[in-house]
Structure 1
Amino acid sequence: MTLKNLFFDLDGTILESSRGILNSFRYTFDEMGHPQLSDAELNTFIGPPLETTFATLANGDDAWAEKAIVTYRKYYAAKGMLEAEPYDGILETLETLQRLDYNLFIATSKKEDVAQNMLAGLKLSQHFKGIFGNTPQAHSKTLVLKKSLDLSQSTPNTSAMIGDREYDIIGGQENKVAKTIGVLWGFGDETELKNAGSDILIAHPQQLLEIIR
């Protein structure tokens, strides 16, 4: 069946948002008394839910993890989310997909209201029919995508998940979408995406136009 519904990850797929995310982690570590980590280590935290990342760092201290998440989100909402911009070629690709009558959605592990405010601030909201993210009821990429499919009334066999990390590919597979598309301009790499079982890899946003027709 022909693809009609395209679900995009946000960080590392639509937006180059690493500066704001890394600065938010650095601020949180200072506030929480955690040793600072290298940029390479911090980059591995871009993509997974904050609950997963801080649970790992907390070594079983749930109260520490919860406070760290609140601290991170406070900084990110005030400053971090302003330090982002769309990748080269993204805007043109989204505009072309809209003209071709595809339904475009965001499915992100980022907190849903933050993702909505971020895209509104960057004047990108108008490209998407729905912006879905992390909520108390849906915090993993698999659950976020399931919610996105359900609320948008999109059938999996006419849908694709597009993202830069293994979580995006696995989320697509677990929701039985028609295609999972890994992007190589984000925070994951070719090995990670191939090992996750991505159906297709692309190196530039405009390649998406070639493979979905």
Structure 2
Amino acid sequence: MTAGALTRVSCVLFDLDGTLVDSAPGITECLAQTVREFGGDDHPPESLREFVGPPVVETLRALTRVPAPELPRVVQHYRALYWERGMHESSVFPGIRALLDAIHRSNVPIAVATSKRESHARAILQLHSLESGFIAVHGAGEDDEGGGKVTVIRAALRSLAAAAEAPLMIGDRSFDIRAASAVGIPSLFAQWGYGRRHESEGSIVTASDPLHARELISPLLSRHAELNPGER
């Protein structure tokens, strides 16, 4: 659904990195260190923000020159760095707690759909005292399989069961928007995250920050209303 009006939201799916949590500082520093230690170019961490969001296996394959059989070792090294240090450099985006509170007050269930390992996603949510509010958290397995965005969105919708009759996906990258479209659900583009403006193509509406998102969707959680895609 890329056009027309959204009249009701029965559940909300959230991306994690760049949508709920500002995880770029820790991710980019760990990526830069990993690439450097495995013979890649010396990247300033801030230059790697575009790689926050896609599966880390794909990112490290693109940034390093190691032979394919060595890639799992590179990924393992990155994950060890991230688990030890990078994860703790993340923070909740301002306004996210207010957005989640507004959804909770309407008794509308929420879930996380991320390409990150599910265990890491849960750890980050726990770190920031967010996990208890989510009905389900879906991400890649410990073998990094099953983390494709379409796959995790479908898994989240199955977890939400009957509540998934009028879902909305909120994400900050084109991967989120395209996957939502592939599954056949509308999406809200989180402009406060790491995506560029053109990545919003295919979303039904764009929000400049979490409080703007709350303003846009709150009426849809409590009564029939119309969200016009012209509100971008």
- Please say whether Structure 1 and Structure 2 have the same fold, judged by a TM-score greater than 0.5: yes
User: Is the 1:5–1:104 Cα contact (8 Å) retained in structure 2?
Assistant: yes
The reply on whether 1:176 has 2:184 as its aligned counterpart is yes
* TM-score normalized with structure 2 length: 0.84
The answer to whether structure 1 residue 44 and structure 2 residue 44 are counterparts is: no
CA RMSD of aligned residues (A): 1.8
Q: For this pair of structures, how many residues does the alignment match?
A: 210
- Taking structure 1 as the reference length, the TM-score comes to 0.91
Deviations 1:86-135 (A, max 9, x none): 11111111111101111111111111001101111111112211111122
- Gap change, CA 1:13 and 1:186, over 3 Å in 2: same
Determine which structure has more spread, i.e. the larger CA radius of gyration: 2
**Higher RCO structure (Cα 8 Å, ≥6 apart):** 2
Q: Would the aligned equivalents of 2:172 and 2:193 in 1 still touch at CA under 8 Å?
A: yes
Match of 1:201 among 199, 206, 209: 206
- Tell me which amino acid in the other structure corresponds to 2:61: A
Partner of residue 67 from structure 1, selected from 66, 73, 80: 73
For the 8 Å contact 1:156–1:175, the answer to whether it is kept is no
How far apart, in 2, do the equivalents of 1:173 and 1:156 lie?
Answer: 15
Contact 1:20/1:76, CA 8 A, preserved across alignment: yes
Percent of pairs with identical residues: 28
CA distance in 1, matches of 2:163, 2:107: 16
Other-structure match for 2:118: 112
In 2, are the aligned partners of 1:138 and 1:147 still within 8 Å (CA)?
Answer: no
Gaps of 5+ in 1: none
Residue aligning to 2:90: 84
Q: Once the 2 structures are TM-superposed, how far is the Cα of residue 81 of structure 1 from its aligned partner?
A: 0.6
SS in 1 for 2:33: helix
